[in-house]
Amino acid sequence: MIAGISIYEILTVTSILFFIGVYGFITRKNLISILMSVELILNASVINFVVINKYLYPDILQGVYFSIFIIAVAAAETALAVSIIINLYRQIASVEVKDTEIMKY
């Protein structure tokens, strides 16, 4: 654990990061920007897993395993989302949310 830093301060920082991500998710109008906001949200939750493991249960490593799995799923999700966005751009020449109305092309 970090000397002189309590768990409350780290959880405060991650909560702020999480809500910045939520703000970006709602206000952005572009698919790639929305993807980036999702990355912010995921990262905030990963820090929470690690910090709670380290501060409250230092003898076990469950939080680390879960954070590794979250990072793997986030990488897979980003790869798929980027490929979908590129395919969408080929078909309708735009990645704005307002142009993405139909699911079947």
Whichever of 23 and 101 has its CB closer to another protein, that residue is 23
Contacts of residue 52, defined as CB under 8 A and 6 or more positions apart, other chains included, come to 7, 63
Measure the CA–CA gap between 56 and 94, rounded to whole angstroms. 47
CB of 41 to another protein, least distance (A): 11
Whichever of 90 and 103 has its CB closer to another protein, that residue is 90
Whichever of 59 and 101 has its CB closer to another protein, that residue is 59
Whichever of 87 and 101 has its CB closer to another protein, that residue is 87
CB of 101 to another protein, least distance (A): 17
CB of 49 to another protein, least distance (A): 10
Sign of CA dihedral 6, 10, 11, 12: positive
CB of 43 to another protein, least distance (A): 5
Please say whether the beta carbons of 73 and 43 come within 8 A: no
Measure the CA–CA gap between 96 and 76, rounded to whole angstroms. 22
Taking the chain, what is the end-to-end CA distance rounded to the nearest angstrom? 52
